[in-house]
Amino acid sequence: MFDFIRKRINKTIKDASDAIPEEEMETNETDTEIEEKNDVSTGEKEITTDTEVSDDNSKNMEESEEDDKESGDDKEENKGMFSFFRRNNDSDNDDESKSSDEKPSEDIVGDNQVNKGEIVESGDADKSKDNDKEEKKGMFSFFRRNNDSDNDDESKSSDEKSSDNINDNNQVDKENVESIEMDEKSEEESESVEKSKETLDTEDVLVENPPDNIENNEDKKEDKGHFGFFSRNKNKEASSNQKDEKEEDKSDDDSGRFSFITKKTIKEEDIEDILEELEFSLIEGDVAFDVAERIVESVKEDLIGKKIKRRGDMELFTTNALKKAITEIIDNGYYDLLGDIEKSKEKGEPYKIMFVGINGTGKTTTIAKIATYLEKHGYSSVFGASDTFRAGAIEQLEHHANNLNLKIIKHERNSDPAAVAFDAVEHAKASGKDVVLIDTSGRMQTNANLMDEMKKIKRVSQPDIVIYVGDALMGNDATEQASKFNEVIDIDGIILTKADADAKGGAAISIGHVIHKPILFIGTGQSYDDLMEFEPEWMINQIFNEEAEA
């Protein structure tokens, strides 16, 4: 039923996922070059920032972490961190040709640059030991700096420190200057770190099976931070208000590779073209203009300002925003038909339903379907043949009555339809029937006489509920007609027929919203059982699930 809308919605979701260019989801290469070092002996990740990291940038990164803390994203972040290390350990382990003896002495020194969202590792396993030392000194000093800034945690053992391998060689960063000073001061300690590293097991030590000396750290909560880059951010206080600037983040992408993704805040310009196209698509798919506008506004409101932290976020946000917008549109209350019928029955009154609509929408067929439905729920019905206008209308209803073995109250053709309805109600009262189903002739909302006649039927028969029967194939016209009928006769609910033949689905989305009345049933075919109770969840599933039956 929703083929057209489903395709367009899915296109919108796809376009939205592609809307933020890859480059914008990555660290700014011109500002920051991140060098990653992978110490095989410990399985640690060492990340060296070799170029300038501006104060702003680092503040944003700090804020990013702070934000996450507040929003409870920490756990996810940390999980990501662990998988990062595990993955790198795994990739190290892949190197079967290396003996475990070799590994401890080998640093894969990444001249890695963050490039298009991935860390491209160009490890140089044969760096000289001197170089190694220098690197490690640097690495150590970085953590010294951070540890110091965190609490001057002098009590940390060198073992602990060995796991904090981040080297920041920033030239301009103020803190970095301090860091360089620290380098000199802590040269000795650095060497002890190296030694301690050599004593550690070779693989997965930090993540899968942390050695005792790390596991027993006095401050276990620090463990996560030890693994690198994040600890620096995590332990500092947030100090920036520039919330919609890019923020660095680490995350898994779908391919399972690790990537740096910048937090990107969705702005109107990122999505305006997509939403404009969505609006056209909805209108083309028979959604009423106002409803299409409202859906788009709601999605826009939802998306703007959202922060994308990892690939897939945009798709998720857009899907959720669309689902929310459409759910709001199609949720127009609930009419407890069976409950109301039961109440009438308890009072000893027949429950009266009047069916209205324009020509050929399926009123008469639907009456037969409803009688079938009611019978299944234990309620008896009687038909009132109030379409005295169209040739063959009475016979048509009579045919269904015979098929279903139900009583029909009929008068001559062209007789007063209101009188027929009245008689049908009287018959139900007299014979103890539970429900009276009143058929009326189809009429155009523009035909004042026929609209007046319809009002008279209502006045005389005093129905408990007036149901507008709309043809889904008529698209937005069905919605506009429902609006007019509602103005004249005050509709209580809607049955939308021919959903089985409607490939667009727009009328089903907007009709209830436009008249603020619920859809009770959907007609799904020409047989008596082709009637479905309307459930908003069903519709949402039809619209969003590509595997949903048409």
- Interface ranges with ligand GTP (CB under 6 A): 357, 359-365, 387, 390, 393, 441-442, 497-498, 500-501, 523-526, 530
CB of 74 to ligand GTP, least distance (A): 53
CB of 325 to Mg ion, least distance (A): 36
Phi, psi of 419 (to 5 degrees): -65, -40
* Nearest-angstrom CA–CA distance, 158 and 205: 16
Q: Which is nearer to ligand GTP, 158 or 365 (CB)?
A: 365
User: Which H or E run contains 523?
Assistant: strand 519-523
CB of 13 to ligand GTP, least distance (A): 30
187, 111, 164, 237: CA torsion to nearest 10: 110
- Known binding residues for GTP are 357-364, 439-443, 497-500
The partner in contact with residue 498, picked from ligand GTP, Mg ion, none with C-beta cut-offs of 5 to 8 angstroms by kind, is ligand GTP
CB of 526 to ligand GTP, least distance (A): 4
Closest CA to 207 of 302, 310, 89, 292: 89
* Nearest-angstrom CA–CA distance, 146 and 136: 15
- Total number of residues shown for the chain: 550
Q: Which residue has the tokens 């429950």?
A: 351
CB of 60 to ligand GTP, least distance (A): 57
The partner in contact with residue 497, picked from ligand GTP, Mg ion, none with C-beta cut-offs of 5 to 8 angstroms by kind, is ligand GTP
Structural contact between residues 522 and 508, judged by C-beta atoms closer than 8 angstroms: yes
The partner in contact with residue 350, picked from Mg ion, ligand GTP, none with C-beta cut-offs of 5 to 8 angstroms by kind, is none
Q: Which residue has the tokens 């919609």?
A: 244
Q: Which is nearer to ligand GTP, 363 or 433 (CB)?
A: 363
Binding mask 338-377 for Mg ion (x = CB under 5 A): -------------------------xx-------------
The partner in contact with residue 381, picked from ligand GTP, Mg ion, none with C-beta cut-offs of 5 to 8 angstroms by kind, is none
The partner in contact with residue 500, picked from ligand GTP, Mg ion, none with C-beta cut-offs of 5 to 8 angstroms by kind, is ligand GTP
The partner in contact with residue 523, picked from ligand GTP, Mg ion, none with C-beta cut-offs of 5 to 8 angstroms by kind, is ligand GTP
Residue 163, classed as helix, strand or coil, is: coil
Q: Which is nearer to ligand GTP, 100 or 526 (CB)?
A: 526
CB of 360 to Mg ion, least distance (A): 8
Q: How far apart are the first and last CA of the chain?
A: 5
CB of 387 to Mg ion, least distance (A): 5
The partner in contact with residue 530, picked from ligand GTP, Mg ion, none with C-beta cut-offs of 5 to 8 angstroms by kind, is ligand GTP
Q: Which is nearer to ligand GTP, 266 or 467 (CB)?
A: 467
The partner in contact with residue 169, picked from ligand GTP, Mg ion, none with C-beta cut-offs of 5 to 8 angstroms by kind, is none
Concatenated DSSP letters of 209-254: S--HHHHT-S-TTHHHHHTSHHHHHHTSPP----TTS-EEEEEE-T
* Nearest-angstrom CA–CA distance, 518 and 507: 13
CB of 281 to ligand GTP, least distance (A): 25
Report CA Rg, the chain: 35
Pairing verdict, β 247-252 and 166-168? unpaired
* 179 interacts with Mg ion by CB under 5 A: no
* Nearest-angstrom CA–CA distance, 449 and 430: 32
* 232 interacts with Mg ion by CB under 5 A: no
CB of 325 to ligand GTP, least distance (A): 27
Q: Which is nearer to Mg ion, 167 or 364 (CB)?
A: 364
Count the residues of the shown chain that bind Mg ion, applying the rule CB under 5 A: 2
CB of 445 to Mg ion, least distance (A): 16
Token pair in block for residue 1: 């039923």
Structural contact between residues 124 and 111, judged by C-beta atoms closer than 8 angstroms: yes
* 264 interacts with Mg ion by CB under 5 A: no
* Nearest-angstrom CA–CA distance, 276 and 499: 27
Q: Which is nearer to ligand GTP, 488 or 501 (CB)?
A: 501
Token pair in block for residue 183: 């380098």
Q: Which is nearer to ligand GTP, 57 or 440 (CB)?
A: 440
Q: Which residues contact 87 (CB under 8 A, 6 or more apart)?
A: 256, 258
Residue nearest to Mg ion (CB): 364
* 42 interacts with Mg ion by CB under 5 A: no
The partner in contact with residue 138, picked from Mg ion, ligand GTP, none with C-beta cut-offs of 5 to 8 angstroms by kind, is none
For 451, other C-beta atoms within 10 Å of its C-beta total 18
Alpha-carbon distances, residue 125 vs 10, 119, 122, 132 (angstroms): 47, 17, 9, 10
Q: Which is nearer to ligand GTP, 230 or 521 (CB)?
A: 521
Q: Which is nearer to Mg ion, 113 or 364 (CB)?
A: 364
* Nearest-angstrom CA–CA distance, 246 and 118: 17
Closest CA to 119 of 212, 258, 14: 258
* Nearest-angstrom CA–CA distance, 548 and 396: 35
49 φψ region: left (φ > 0), alpha (ψ -120 to 50), beta (else): beta
The partner in contact with residue 7, picked from Mg ion, ligand GTP, none with C-beta cut-offs of 5 to 8 angstroms by kind, is none
Q: Which is nearer to ligand GTP, 11 or 390 (CB)?
A: 390
* 388 interacts with Mg ion by CB under 5 A: no
* Nearest-angstrom CA–CA distance, 146 and 176: 10
* Nearest-angstrom CA–CA distance, 404 and 364: 13
- Known binding residues are 357-364, 439-443, 497-500
Residue nearest to ligand GTP (CB): 442
CB of 378 to ligand GTP, least distance (A): 24
Q: Which is nearer to Mg ion, 391 or 430 (CB)?
A: 391
The partner in contact with residue 285, picked from ligand GTP, Mg ion, none with C-beta cut-offs of 5 to 8 angstroms by kind, is none
Interacting residues toward Mg ion by CB under 5 A: 363-364
